A and B are shown apart, each in its own frame.
Chain A
Amino acid sequence: MSLHPKKVQEDPSFDKGAVLRLFAAMPDGMIVLDAMGIVLYANDSAHRMFGGRRLLGKNLGLPIMAGESHADIEVIDSAGRVGCAELRAATFDWLGQPATVASLRDITERRALERQLALAGQVFENAREGIIVTRPDGVIVSVNRSFTTITGYSLEEALGNTPRLLKSGEHDRAFFERMWESIAGQGFWHGEIVNRRKDGSLYPELLSISRIQDGDGQVAHLVGIFSDLTQHKTDQAALEEARLQLQQSEKLLEEIERRYTVANSPVLSVVGGMYGSAPLSRSAAGVFDELVHRYGRTLELAVENLAFKVDNPVSDQLRELADDLGYLQAGARDVAELHAQTLTRNTKGIPAAKAKAMIEEGRFLVLELMGDLLSFYRKNYSRVPAAAHPERDSTTKALHSRAKKGST
């Protein structure tokens, strides 16, 4: 370099033109303003920041800022686009008059990046999934709030540790070898894993591990994102149990239907032989009405249980009802009719949502009632000899009085 700073400062040939060329070459916008804020000079960078807008003679305004620091401002270019700039200013003497030199540093990209980072930070902290960030050697460099919620370990406890902190001992070496092979080969691993919380309890989680590379393609970090599957597994188990119960009830229902419809069924030979196939609603209309009334109340209680999380003794009432139906030698068809009539009566003139709840809850109720009725027959059938079977009429009378007693 031929330029020597000391020599330049002392050189009388260092003229105003050179200073302006220096200004022009600066990457920051440089603007000289008069005492009223009118632009006396602006360099190329300043013109670029304002989208090529003519600045000379325009009133930008006098820069002010708190203390001696800078102020962030928005600059509006000729197309109306808004950019961000860091404004600094100093007063000086410009060609014999007091002036202000303002420097503008374009921080539009930096601000956008900061906003992105802030957003990423918010997403990281507020994600419902637990997030672990480690160095390539596995040392944890960051975890989010959900990590702490799920595992019980705070950020401070996790930092500097490795994810082995959560090791449950439930997986063998081959499992982890496959995991690391996948991360090394494909760049990610996804699957279920059982880990251990700080309190020692085990929990299943769905985990995704991804490699994060830096600009040179080197692995910079590993990120693990996981969700606690405990609730999911519990829900799944409850769902499976409900499905099995439903299946069982349906089987019972089929069995009742079969016993009452197959001609050579022993039940039908006893019951059907004695009373034929007249429906209860016709052969014992009064009692049937009472049963509809009772079943209707039970249905209301079941819906209440569902809506208000109370514990009305629905199952007990259904068992009593099934016993009475059993004494009446009722069949599946009678139960179906009882159910249909009750629904018709109880859903009349009530809000649609309540009617829907009643119909949905009714499906379970009728299956339970069928099951109870079958249990009644299973329990009592063998002990009731054909000759000693009570007459439907006498049973009807007995039940009638019992139903009346129950309804008061």
Chain B
Amino acid sequence: MNKFRLTLYVTGHTPRSEKGIRNLQRICAEELQGTYEMTVIDVLEQPQLAEDQKILATPTLVKELPPPLRRVIGDLSDTEKVLLGLDIAALGGANERKGK
């Protein structure tokens, strides 16, 4: 199975950034069952990287792999909306939830 490669772009060490990171960690742990590679990039620390990737706003979560490439911006606390936005069919948790 292909690994999911997810990159989260945040701005600084703010409570909002921390919350975004926590949400992503939770989604990865609960829904992607270890088949993921997660990177967090602070656009203040690596502005060129953000510029190269044409990041216009934060928090932006990018699913680079598997295709198709998808981006979402905003509040990552609703797991199902995040998975839907990234075009990811969850491997575990979401299906279990649906089955309940």
The answer to whether B11 and A82 touch across the interface, beta carbons within 8 angstroms, is yes
A82 to B68, CA, bound (A): 29
- Cross-chain contact B81 with A64 (CB below 8 angstroms): yes
A89 to B75, CA, bound (A): 12
Most chain A CB neighbours (cut-off 10 Å) among B43, B51, B54, B60: B60
Interface size on A, residues (CB 8 A): 26
- Given A64-B74, A74-B11: A59 and B54 within 8 A (CB)? yes
Q: Does A56 reach chain B (CB closer than 8 Å)? A: no
- State whether the Cβ of A5 lies closer than 8 Å to any Cβ in chain B: no
Q: Could you tell me how many residues of chain B have their Cβ less than 8 Å away from some Cβ of chain A? A: 29
Interface string of A51-80 (1 = CB under 8 A from B): 001010011111111110001111110001
Which residue of chain A lies nearest to B51 when distances are taken between CB atoms in the complex? A80
User: B20-57 toward A: CB 8 Å interface, digit per residue (1/0)?
Assistant: 00000000000000000000000110010011001111
Q: Do A75 and B56 touch (CB < 8 A)?
A: yes
Tell me the complex Cα distance, A87–B58, Å: 11
- The majority secondary structure among interface residues of chain B is mixed
Chain B hits for A377, CB < 8 A: none
Q: Of B54, B55, B73, which contacts A63 at CB under 8 A?
A: B73
Interface residues of A in 168-214 (CB under 8 A from B): none
Report the separation of the CA atoms of residues A74 and B8 in the bound assembly, to the nearest whole angstrom: 13
**B73 & A61 in contact (Cβ 8 Å cutoff):** yes
Q: Are B78 and A64 in contact (CB under 8 A)?
A: yes
Which of the listed residues B44, B47, B68, B74 has the most CB atoms from chain A within 10 Å of its own CB?
B74
**Of B47, B51, B58, B75, which one neighbours A65 at CB under 8 angstroms?**
B75
Residues of chain B whose beta carbon lies under 8 Å from any beta carbon of chain A: 11, 16, 43-44, 47, 50-51, 54-62, 68, 70-78, 81-82, 85
Q: Which residues of A line the B interface, CB within 8 A?
A: 36-37, 50, 53, 55, 58-67, 71-76, 80, 82, 85, 87, 89
